[in-house]
Amino acid sequence: MGTARALDSDVESFLAAPLRRMLVDGRWVEAASGRTFETVNPATGEALARVAEGDAEDIDRAVRAARRAFDDGEWPRMAPRDRERILARVVELIERHAAALAQLETLDNGKAIAESASVDIPAAADTFRYYAGWVNKMSGETLPSAPDFFTFTLREPVGVCGQIIPWNFPLLMAAWKLAPALACGNTVVLKPAEQTPLSALRLGELLLEAGVPRGVVNIVPGFGPTAGAALVRHPLVDKVAFTGSTEVGKEIHRASADTLKRISLELGGKSPNIVFADADIDSAVRGALMGVFFNQGEVCCAGTRLLVESSLHDRFAEALAAAARGMKQGPGLDPETQIGPLVSAEQLERVTGYLELGLREGATPLAGGGRNLAAGLERGYFVQPTVFTGVRNDMRIAREEIFGPVVAVMPFRDEEDAVLQGNDTTYGLAAGVWTRDVSRAHRIARALRAGTVWVNCYNVFDVSAPFGGYKESGYGRELGRQCLDLYTQTKSVWLRV
């Protein structure tokens, strides 16, 4: 096992605080109830920090602060160049503190430091950079009308945005939510996941340092049934954005009906990754490995249904299993770690339950199949990277989102069968296609009902490319210019001349 890097002094100082408070109206405050909770290091099961536990009263304070900041404050009325300058300053601060943010993310979530440092933190900075560039480019248009009228449209911010983010990419998901909302002139109440609140709270410090006015961003850690539910139902919230499970997304959809809030949902997935026999096999094995084991498989668009053409199925499954067995598993701060622990004891129980279910359903584990209890890992939430064969598309391990390092390898006969099985799911977030046949790639990409289709690659992202789902994977698109539609509304103005 490699030697873990020494903790950055900023991280040590951040974790040494007896309590990490919530951000409300520009001040760091304790919960109104005084309640707190622990956030845990998944590699050891030990507490990292104690955090203020927000509930309905704290949400109400935060929403009212955001309401005042929107209705009476400077942020929505600020000159675009000034709002752009503040968001650009956020980018500078994220990049200045990148090493510390990566360590904090790895400690709280468990992911490999190589991933935190090379993916999560740079991508968070890029997201703020991209939307800072949009601040002075959002515009309305003049419209043809009768000669005695001048008709035009204005693009205006929605108002107070309630944002609820998941625990798998804590800082990056905060950036995906906050950056476009702020660029459009909205104010925000952000609820980070209770499993991983630390990097969002640290980002709150950086936002204040960058000059974001008080009340514009409020960050309330807490639990879904209390803080999250209160945020969704609050009558002064104009829009809710949620990333998380389909089950919770449906609850939010129902709960928002009374106030007809604008809602955007980026939900679960059970993505097909389709490998044809003419593919570059080595590249496809590496892509499949990345597609399912990146971030311990705790990825909503993970390619967990690996569909392989029948003539290639056995050879491909063996190659993938061999690669999975060779992955270095360990604590995230170990620079040699390729796959870290799951985020929590609850998630460990969920994933190992699916491993047991797969065996009962008749699947065969070519690699992994259980918890990793190797010396030094037994206290953490480690699950072996697992490759199942003998899986049918009607088995629960092929239909339900496991959200762990588990892949089901299944054969298909031809293009028609690949598309049929690929679309045979309630989800539609992403898909992959591996083939050297360009025409086939186009046909399959068009036929798959998914918001993102990767061809001869997997898990490739750029902030300019929209991301979101079909079917029960949600609606609305994050990233790209399309995301601006979630955080603006159009006003038509008729002026008699």
Give the strands of the sheet with 364-367, arranged side by side. 364-367, 386-389, 406-412, 305-309, 272-275, 430-434, 452-455
Closest CA to 407 of 454, 362, 358, 373: 358
Rounded CA separation 138/135 (Å):
6
Rounded CA separation 324/35 (Å):
42
Half-sphere exposure of 107 (CA within 13 A, CB side): 23
Rounded CA separation 453/441 (Å):
10
The pair of structure tokens assigned to 374 is 């190797």
Rounded CA separation 169/301 (Å):
13
Residues ≥6 apart with Cβ < 8 Å to 356 = none
Backbone CA torsion sign across 457, 461, 462, 465: positive
Rounded CA separation 489/467 (Å):
20
| Catalytic residue numbers, as ranges | 266, 300
